[in-house]
Structure 1
Amino acid sequence: MLEALLWGGIAASSLVVGALLAVVRSWSDRTVGIVLAFGAGALIAAVAFELAEAGLELGGPIGMGIGLAIGAVAYFAADRAVERRSGRRGGGATGFPLVLGALLDGIPEQAVLGIGLVAGNGVSLALLVSIFVSNLPESIGASADMRADGRSKRFVMLLWLGVAVLCTLAAIGGRILAEVAAPPVVATIDGIAAGALLVMLIDAMIPEARKKAGDIAGLATVVGFAVAAGLSLLGE
């Protein structure tokens, strides 16, 4: 349990780090876009080498497929609900929808991190790096938006601290669930995380990285993929 708390806290800490970086200085769109693209590449590797592979081994294609469908539809529906309430597509991104987005993809990510600890192989470095890096641009962008809207530094930091705590608790919850649930159930949870992440990547993260970083976004994505894939292979 303490191990899940430790690694979950480390992964979620980048949300607070990103908020801190945003309140102490401003960052160019290009810099944020490069970090975003690197994180997207790392998440693609995590989905392929960690979530999908583990899910297929535990529950086969049916359990994995059910999880993919649930995760994809759940993220799609929740994200569209946020968009309708905030007018995000018509009026540009604002801080609070981005915070909600961090929760939508952060909780299943962290739950899978906790699930992986039960296998006895330790934490997945590839997944840990993917979560840590992809969290940074989300929290930097959302914090900058909230500061521009007049929110205090204290409010921004406390908000992200709360999100980080919830994500850390998800890692603990994932470990507990993996200890009591049958392998097909764990496989479905892997699929849910993979489905949610894939929709998030294509719908939000990759387009935003391209918009902010320009032509270099593709190269940064490949670097992120290579780093996370290498870590995954080293951990085997």
Structure 2
Amino acid sequence: MPIALQAGLWGLLSGSALVIGAVIGWFVPLGRRVIAAIMAFGAGVLISALSFELIDEAWKQGGFLPVAGGFLGGALVYTGANWLLAHRGARHRKRSVPEKREKQAANNPENGAALALGALLDGIPESIVIGVSLLAGKGIGLVAVIAVFLSNIPEGLSSAAGMKHEGKKAGHVFGMWALIALASGIAATIGYLAFDGVPPAGVASVMAVAAGAILAMIVDTMVPEAFEGTHDFAGLIAVSGFLAAFALSRLA
């Protein structure tokens, strides 16, 4: 099987967790604290993955300067795009709290496109990382795939629960997440094809850009939901997720 196709399938697999989470959030009446706890755990998993699977590996390939430039650049690009989408109705796309979602919908009643673009913005860096991880010829970075998969479940879960409170139709919600899961597969394929043959320093920069964007996404969109639902326990749950991903990376 062509490696580019493998990258796409791995990206699709990780993106499918969004659909799984959306199904759970739509049909299973989970309390706000449970949703927030899952979000906190997913945030910890992602932080561990970007620390040991992305930044550490990027530093080994390219050194400090490409990593520092890419890391700050990724955070800057994500923050700018997120700011634009937030002012078009996608600020609380990962929130399950009805009051915040209702206020957002009232201010931006036609926010469907912004929500979809926001979810796509959150998923693209993660998917590109999956494709880039195949460039070294050592096979897929399973820890990165598992981390993205685990973090996507609470994203789909929380957002779908919030959309249900907004009165969105099930077909609209599941269709949106299915398309984003498909886009995740495409982004992973592009991540492999676009950077195949690029020098190690260039690959390191790409990995650092993705890591910076992911960390900015975690703080901007996942941490608020996690903290508001679990309060003083958010840090402990996030540490548990970090430790689980760290143990998985070392065992792998």
Whether 1:179 aligns to 2:182 is no
Equivalent residue number for residue 182 of structure 2: 165
For residue 26 of structure 1, what is the amino acid of its counterpart? Answer: P
Equivalent residue number for residue 227 of structure 2: 210
For residue 161 of structure 1, what is the amino acid of its counterpart? Answer: A
Alpha-carbon shift at residue 102 of structure 1 (Å): 2.6
For residue 47 of structure 1, what is the amino acid of its counterpart? Answer: L
CA deviation map 1:58-102 (0-9, x unaligned): 22111111211211111111111111122847x824584554333
Match of 2:39 among 36, 39, 61: 36
Alpha-carbon shift at residue 227 of structure 1 (Å): 1.1
Gaps of at least 5 residues in structure 2 are: 93-98, 105-110
CA deviation map 1:128-176 (0-9, x unaligned): 2221121122212222222222221111111110111111111111111
Alpha-carbon shift at residue 17 of structure 1 (Å): 0.5
Match of 2:53 among 50, 55, 58: 50
- For 2:124 and 2:91, locate their aligned partners in 1 and report how far apart those are by CA, in whole Å: 22
- For 1:73 and 1:16, locate their aligned partners in 2 and report how far apart those are by CA, in whole Å: 29
Equivalent residue number for residue 104 of structure 1: 121
Q: Is the 8 A contact 1:42 1:228 kept in 2?
A: yes
Equivalent residue number for residue 70 of structure 2: 67
Alpha-carbon shift at residue 185 of structure 1 (Å): 1.6
Normalised to the residue count of structure 1, the TM-score between the two structures is: 0.91
CA deviation map 1:35-60 (0-9, x unaligned): 11111111111111011011112221
- For 2:37 and 2:235, locate their aligned partners in 1 and report how far apart those are by CA, in whole Å: 9
- For 1:179 and 1:200, locate their aligned partners in 2 and report how far apart those are by CA, in whole Å: 26
- For 1:101 and 1:136, locate their aligned partners in 2 and report how far apart those are by CA, in whole Å: 16
Question: Percent identical across equivalent pairs?
Answer: 38
Q: Is the 8 A contact 1:39 1:224 kept in 2?
A: yes
- For 1:196 and 1:217, locate their aligned partners in 2 and report how far apart those are by CA, in whole Å: 22
Distance 1:216 1:178, change over 3 A: same
Equivalent residue number for residue 134 of structure 1: 151
Name the SS for the 1:143 alignment partner: helix
Name the SS for the 2:63 alignment partner: helix
- For 1:98 and 1:214, locate their aligned partners in 2 and report how far apart those are by CA, in whole Å: 26
Whether 1:6 aligns to 2:9 is yes
Q: Is the 8 A contact 2:8 2:187 kept in 1?
A: no
Gaps of at least 5 residues in structure 1 are: none
For residue 100 of structure 2, what is the amino acid of its counterpart? Answer: G
For residue 202 of structure 1, what is the amino acid of its counterpart? Answer: V
- For 2:116 and 2:153, locate their aligned partners in 1 and report how far apart those are by CA, in whole Å: 12
- For 1:166 and 1:182, locate their aligned partners in 2 and report how far apart those are by CA, in whole Å: 26
Q: What is the Cα-based RMSD across aligned positions, in Å?
A: 1.9
Normalised to the residue count of structure 2, the TM-score between the two structures is: 0.86
Distance 1:17 1:82, change over 3 A: same
Equivalent residue number for residue 206 of structure 2: 189
User: Which runs of structure 1 show a deviation greater than 3 angstroms over 4 or more consecutive aligned residues?
Assistant: 93-101
